[in-house]
Structure 1
Amino acid sequence: MQLIWLRSDLRLHDNTALSAAAARGPTVAVYLVSPQQWLAHDDAPCKVDFWLRNLRELRLELDRLNIPLLIRTAPSWADAPAVLLDLCLQLQIDALYLNEEYGLHETRRDAAVARTLKAEGIEVRRYLDQLLFKPGSVLTRTGTYFQVFSQFRKVCYERLHHSLPGLVLAPKAQAPLNLASDALPDSVEGFAVPSDTLRNLWPAGENEAQRRLDAFTDQQIEYYGNDRDFPARPGTSQLSAYLAAGVISPRQCLHAALQSNHGEFETGHPGAVTWINELLWREFYKHILVGYPRVSRHRAFRPETEALAWRDAPDDLAAWQQARTGLPIIDAAMRQLLETGWMHNRLRMVVAMFLTKNLLIDWREGERFFMRHLIDGDLAANNGGWQWSSSTGTDSAPYFRIFNPLSQSEKFDPEGVFIKHWLPELASLSKKEVHNPANLGGLFGAVDYPSPIVDLHASRARALAAFKNLPSRQDSVELAGSAYE
């Protein structure tokens, strides 16, 4: 009998390890509930709830195929080898099947499981599934992992033109086993159950993920290149949570995008090309986790930036976290995160630069806060995005490129539609006033909204000085003149 260990691959279709296990013979599935580990990794309550809801949907699909889904508790990943060994011995399992995961703790966990099971004669089979390319297979000419996305993308394009990863068939129904699926918990200790409002924004299951993918590639992907930057428009796929939980695969996304673009990666609809590039950004950051494991240890990718003199400013950090900075686009974005478990990607960059540059607060504070609230929280993407915005990471924004939240607001929410939706207290302001209510002076008294917690220009100068003073900094601060966007 085969055992498929489900993790971040909560789907029936295009699931490499599940299909391989089922093809070999009678198969049982297992999922480990690991509350201590999830707390240690700052996983959001809405994300844990999303996993459970998707597991419930997946169990229904597996039951139709007579594949029992068992639930076991391994409080931390250190407990996983013993828990899985016990189950394998109990069920007389021949081989454990799993799809590879990335990150330092994940790889150590899987190595420990493999050692424990192999010592008892139980085979462990691992498969590439959540990526298009195996880490270590896309390298520079000198054999190192890429640090610049454009160079990584070029090699990926060459590989994709040569050999497009195919979709894996879903398993067929097997003969019934004398084993029933376990009941799933409604909640996990330590993780609050999110509101129905939030849950309803993110319905569970493969059918919902596929519906979103079909709707996006049929109706919106052509306009994605432009619309994706405007948070008031429905310009994004809204698939990130489903990708993070493995409810849909990057291969499925890639094939759908290519189908909408006549099979082209680099030509055709600019929107489709841009979205495929976003899939490759996701790929890039996961390769970085493997090639440069220090980013899994809360370390800056660029060692020289470890010496940055970050501010200890708990009041400013709390104002940012609680959406009361006095800058409407920042506060609206943070309210979106707090209420929906998700934030528009353009705004993720804007609020991250504001925290790390204007407030000069350590990017790790923002990375942790995001993980504790994001339904699509993913170590690689979240770390990569925060280090990009804070100029501490691979292929990151130059330190002198600092988004001005006011100009970003005026450019990407010109009518103030997004701001007014999340900050209804500003609904009476004009589209010109809503971006910077502080300009109203005394006339602003009737609106219940805080004054800005920081002067944007002075704080920008402070950030430039902090980066310029790093020991190995060679860039000229003169380049900063036109880089305040």
Structure 2
Amino acid sequence: MHLIWLRSDLRLHDNTALAAACQRGPTAAVYLITPGQWLAHDDAPCKVDFWLRNLKCLGQALGELNIPLLIRHADTWDQAPQVLLQLCQELSVQTVHVNEEYGIHESRRDAAVAQALEAQGLGFYRYLDQLLFQPGSVLTKTGTYFQVFSQFRKVCYNRLHSALPRRVPTPKAQAALPLASDAVPEQVKGFAPPSDALRALWPAGEDEAQRRLAQFADAQISYYKDERDYPAKPGTSQLSAYLAAGVVSPRQCLHAALQSNQGEFESGDIGAITWINELLWREFYKHILVGYPRVSRHRAFRPETEAVAWRHAPADLAAWQEARTGLPIIDAAMRQLLETGWMHNRLRMVVAMFLTKNLLIDWREGERFFMRHLIDGDLAANNGGWQWSSSTGTDSAPYFRIFSPLSQSEKFDGEGRFIKQWLPQLASLNKKEVHNPDAVGGLFGVADYPRPIVDLKHSRERALAAFRALPSRQAVGGVYE
């Protein structure tokens, strides 16, 4: 018998390790419940719930192919080698197949499992699946990992021209095995189930992921470049949670985008080109995890920025976390995160820059808070985004480029529709007032809405001073947009 160990690849179709295992002969699948590890990695309760719901759907789909789904418990990844070895011995498994995951802890886990299995004469096979290109295969001319996205993208384009990654065939039904599937738990202790309203926003299963992908590629992708920055518009694909859990693959996304654009990724439909670009950003940040493992260790990509004099300001941090900063676009975005497990991408940048620049609070506080609430939480993308916004990362915003929450709000939510959706206490304000109620609210501001916790102009100057003080920085004029 052969075994596929499922992780962040919760799908039947275009699953490299699953297809490889099934080609070898009778196959079973296993998933490890690892609550201690999830807590250590700040995985959000709504994300754990999403995984379990998708796992249940996948178990049913596998069952139709007579592939039993087994559930085992290993509180942390340290226990994975022993748990998997014991399962292999119980079932007389010959080979174990996995789709590769990235990050220092994931690599160590897989190396330890491989060592334990191979010591007993069992095969352990790893496959490229959640990326288009193997980390280490897209390098600079001097053989190092890229640090600048535009250069990375150029090499990816050249590779895509010569060989598009192919989708993998779906396994056919196998003869029934004398092995029953295990029930997928409805919830795991330590991870409270989310509200029914949140669950309804994110239905589980490959059918839903494929429906979203098809709808986006058919009806919305052409407008993606123009509408993706406007949080009140349905301008994004809403696929990030499904990509993070592996319910849909990047290959499936790429092929859908190419099909909508006559096979082109550098010319033609600007919306499709822009969306493929976002798939490559996702790719870039995962390659960074492998090439620069310090970012998996809560370290700044740019070492000199470890010296930034971040403020210890628990009251300000709590106000940001609880959506009561007194700046409507910030509070509306944080309310969206808290209630839906997701935040619009433009707003992720705006709230991250507000925390790290205007409040001068360490980006790691924001990164951790996001992971604890995002249904699409992904180490590489989340870390990459936070370090970009805080000017500590690869290809990051120059430290003197600081988004003004008011300008961003007026530009991307001009009518105030998004703000009013999430902050109904501001519904009576007109489209000019809603971005900055403090300016029109008189002595006491607007009822039921706090005054701003920070002066934007002063805090901007404070951030510029903190970054100029770094040893390798030179004083440069500010940009405020």
Normalising by structure 1, we get a TM-score of 0.99
Report the counterpart of residue 432 of structure 1 in structure 2.
432
Deviations 1:25-79 (A, max 9, x none): 0000000000000000000000000000000000000000000000000000000
Task: Confirm or deny: 8 A CA contact 2:437 2:445 kept in the other structure.
Answer: no
Report the counterpart of residue 303 of structure 1 in structure 2.
303
Report the counterpart of residue 65 of structure 1 in structure 2.
65
Superposition pairs of residues 331-350 of structure 1, within 5 angstroms: 331-350=331-350
Report the counterpart of residue 129 of structure 1 in structure 2.
129
Report the counterpart of residue 368 of structure 2 in structure 1.
368
The letter of the residue matching 2:347 is: L
Task: Confirm or deny: 8 A CA contact 1:19 1:170 kept in the other structure.
Answer: yes
Deviations 1:65-111 (A, max 9, x none): 00000000000000000000000000000100000000000000000
Report the counterpart of residue 416 of structure 2 in structure 1.
416
Q: 1:441 Cα deviation (Å)?
A: 3.5
| Cα distance in 1 between the residues matched to 2:411 and 2:253 | 30
Deviations 1:377-412 (A, max 9, x none): 000000000000000000000000000000000000
Q: 1:447 Cα deviation (Å)?
A: 2.4
Query: CA 1:260–1:119 in structure 2 vs 1: closer, same or farther (change >3 Å)?
Result: same
Report the counterpart of residue 480 of structure 2 in structure 1.
484
Q: 1:444 Cα deviation (Å)?
A: 5.9
| Cα distance in 1 between the residues matched to 2:268 and 2:476 | 39
| Cα distance in 1 between the residues matched to 2:327 and 2:441 | 15
Deviations 1:196-255 (A, max 9, x none): 000000000000000000000000000000100000000000000000000000000000
| Cα distance in 2 between the residues matched to 1:446 and 1:21 | 62
Query: CA 1:249–1:446 in structure 2 vs 1: closer, same or farther (change >3 Å)?
Result: closer
Q: 1:477 Cα deviation (Å)?
A: 2.0
Superposition pairs of residues 47-58 of structure 1, within 5 angstroms: 47-58=47-58
**C-alpha RMSD over aligned residues:** 0.7
Task: Confirm or deny: 8 A CA contact 1:358 1:463 kept in the other structure.
Answer: yes
| Cα distance in 2 between the residues matched to 1:272 and 1:461 | 39
| Cα distance in 2 between the residues matched to 1:393 and 1:184 | 39
The letter of the residue matching 1:34 is: T
User: 3-state SS of the aligned residue for 2:480?
Assistant: coil
Report the counterpart of residue 460 of structure 1 in structure 2.
460
Does structure 1 residue 264 correspond to structure 2 residue 264? Answer: yes
| Cα distance in 1 between the residues matched to 2:393 and 2:4 | 36
Task: Confirm or deny: 8 A CA contact 1:243 1:250 kept in the other structure.
Answer: yes
Deviations 1:330-368 (A, max 9, x none): 000000000000000000000000000000000000000
Report the counterpart of residue 144 of structure 1 in structure 2.
144
Normalising by structure 2, we get a TM-score of 0.99
Q: 1:463 Cα deviation (Å)?
A: 0.1
Report the counterpart of residue 90 of structure 1 in structure 2.
90
| Cα distance in 2 between the residues matched to 1:267 and 1:304 | 39
Report the counterpart of residue 175 of structure 2 in structure 1.
175
Task: Confirm or deny: 8 A CA contact 1:437 1:444 kept in the other structure.
Answer: no
| Cα distance in 2 between the residues matched to 1:444 and 1:246 | 49
Deviations 1:112-164 (A, max 9, x none): 00000000000001100000000000000000000000000000000000000
User: 3-state SS of the aligned residue for 1:477?
Assistant: coil
User: 3-state SS of the aligned residue for 1:209?
Assistant: helix
Does structure 1 residue 24 correspond to structure 2 residue 24? Answer: yes
Report the counterpart of residue 195 of structure 2 in structure 1.
195
Task: Confirm or deny: 8 A CA contact 2:224 2:275 kept in the other structure.
Answer: yes
The letter of the residue matching 2:464 is: L
Task: Confirm or deny: 8 A CA contact 2:74 2:80 kept in the other structure.
Answer: yes
Task: Confirm or deny: 8 A CA contact 1:102 1:290 kept in the other structure.
Answer: yes
Report the counterpart of residue 276 of structure 1 in structure 2.
276
Q: 1:22 Cα deviation (Å)?
A: 0.6
| Cα distance in 1 between the residues matched to 2:166 and 2:443 | 62
Aligned length: 481
Task: Confirm or deny: 8 A CA contact 1:56 1:184 kept in the other structure.
Answer: yes
User: 3-state SS of the aligned residue for 1:113?
Assistant: helix
| Cα distance in 1 between the residues matched to 2:260 and 2:443 | 51
Superposition pairs of residues 101-140 of structure 1, within 5 angstroms: 101-140=101-140
- Stretches of structure 2 that go unaligned for 5 or more consecutive residues are none
Report the counterpart of residue 78 of structure 1 in structure 2.
78
Task: Confirm or deny: 8 A CA contact 2:3 2:93 kept in the other structure.
Answer: yes
- Stretches of structure 1 that go unaligned for 5 or more consecutive residues are none
Task: Confirm or deny: 8 A CA contact 1:342 1:375 kept in the other structure.
Answer: yes
| Cα distance in 1 between the residues matched to 2:466 and 2:254 | 41
